[in-house]
Amino acid sequence: MRKLIRNIRGVLLFTGLTVNTIVWFLPIFLLAVLKLVLPVPPLRRAITRWLMAIGENWISVNTFILQNAGNVEWDSRGLENLRRDGWYLVVANHQTWVDIVVLQAIFNRRVPFLKFFIKQELIWFPLLGIAWWALDMPFMKRYSPSFLARNPHMKGKDLETTRRACEKFRDTPTSVLNFIEGTRFSEQKRLDRKSPFRHLLQPRAGGLAMALSSMGEVFTALLDVTLVYTDGATSFWNMCCGDPVRVIAEVREKPLERWLVDGDYQNDRDFRKRLHTWLGETWSEKDAIIARMREAHG
C-alpha cells in the first residue's frame, strides 16, 4: 500500500509538470514559428525576449509545483550580485537530471534564461524537443572515437556546431550552462575513467573552449556551480514520488581572464595544456568543496 501511494503521488506530480509544459508549449511554438518566418532582425530579437519571458513563467510554475507538492529543498549561495542583463557562462558538476530542475529554479529571474547543451537526438523528445529548439537551446552532436577514426574528415564538426549555436546568443542577454564532465557522475564511471577526483569525473574542455572562443568577450562572468545532494543524488521519478531532495548549490562568480577568451583550442597546443591545467585546478577546488559539505552534513 505504501508503494502504491508513493507511485500515485509520483504520477500526480509528474502530471502537474506535464500539464504546465503543455500550457506554455502552445505560445512558445506559435512565437517560434513567427520568429522563423519573419526576416526582420529587430522583430526576431523582440520575439526572442518574449520567448524567454514565457520560459521563465514555465520554470516558475514548475518550481511552485515542486516546492508545494514535492519534498525538495535547496540552499543556494552566492547569488547576491548576479544581473538579469548580463551574459553568463555557467559550469556545474552533474549527478542527476534533477540538476537541471535545481539550476533552473535557483537562477530563474536572477540571470537571463538558462540555456543548456542538449544531445541532438533529444530534439525528437515529445513537446520538450520543440520547446528546447524554440528557446534556442544549443543542440550538440558528439562523435565517438571509433566513428572519427573511420571518418577523420568529421573531426572538429561537433565543436563547430557548438560555435554556431553560441553565435545566436550575442544579441540577447543569455546564460549558457555546460556540464563539462560530459555525463552524470557515478562511482563506476569514476573508476572506469580513472578520474583523479573523489566526487567528480574529469572535466572535458572542448565544448567549453568553443563557447569561450565564440562568445568569450560577451560573457559578463563565469559562474562555477557546485551541487551537493546531502542525502545522495536521486532520480527525477523518485523526486516526483516525494523522496526528499536536499541540495546545496554554491555559486562562485569568476571573471573571464583574457587568455581564456583569446585562446585557440584546436590549433594551439600550449593553450590546450593551460586550459586543461586551469580546469583541473577548478575541479580540485570543487572536489574539496563537495567533501567539506558532505562531512558537515554527516
Domain-located, residue 20: no
Measuring CA to CA, which residue among 107, 53, 114, 52 is closest to residue 82? Answer: 107
Q: What is the pLDDT of residue 54?
A: 93
Domain-located, residue 64: no
123 touches 143 (CB < 8 A): no
Q: What is the dihedral of CA 183, 189, 190, 195, to 10 degrees?
A: -70
Q: What is the pLDDT of residue 240?
A: 93
Task: With H, G, I as helix, E, B as strand and everything else as coil, classify residue 23.
Answer: helix
Cα–Cα distance for residue pair 64/56, rounded to 1 Å: 12
CATH code at position 258: 3.40.1130
Helical H segments across the chain, by residue range:
2-37, 41-69, 98-107, 128-134, 145-150, 157-167, 187-192, 206-215, 236-240, 258-262, 269-296
Measuring CA to CA, which residue among 69, 130, 133, 66 is closest to residue 104? Answer: 66
State how many domains the chain has: 1
204 touches 182 (CB < 8 A): yes
Domain-located, residue 233: yes
Domain-located, residue 222: yes
Burial class (CB in 10 A: 0-12, 13-18, 19+), 105: buried
Sheet bearing 72-77, strands edge to edge: 72-77, 245-254, 221-229, 88-92, 175-178, 114-116
Q: What is the pLDDT of residue 134?
A: 80
31 touches 134 (CB < 8 A): yes
Q: Quote the radius of gyration of the chain (alpha carbons, Å).
A: 20
Domain-located, residue 147: yes
Measuring CA to CA, which residue among 235, 233, 226 is closest to residue 290? Answer: 226
Chain CA centroid to CA 150, Å: 31
pLDDT digits 0-9 by tens, 234-244: 899 999 999 99
Cα–Cα distance for residue pair 172/17, rounded to 1 Å: 28
Domain-located, residue 12: no
Cα–Cα distance for residue pair 224/249, rounded to 1 Å: 10
Cα–Cα distance for residue pair 231/139, rounded to 1 Å: 32
Q: What pTM does this model have?
A: 0.86
One digit per residue, the tens of pLDDT, for the chain of length 298 reads 888 999 999 999 999 999 998 999 889 889 988 888 887 888 888 888 899 999 999 999 999 999 888 889 889 999 988 999 889 999 999 999 899 999 999 999 999 998 877 777 777 777 778 888 888 777 766 656 666 667 666 666 666 666 676 677 777 888 988 898 988 999 999 999 999 999 999 998 877 887 787 777 888 899 999 999 998 888 999 999 999 999 999 999 999 888 988 888 878 899 999 999 999 999 999 999 999 998 888 6
Domain of 130? 73-296
Domain-located, residue 232: yes
181 touches 204 (CB < 8 A): yes
Cα–Cα distance for residue pair 195/197, rounded to 1 Å: 5
Domain-located, residue 62: no
- Expressed in angstroms, the distance from the first to the final Cα of the chain is 31
Q: What is the pLDDT of residue 33?
A: 85
Cell numbers at 158, concatenated: 561537433
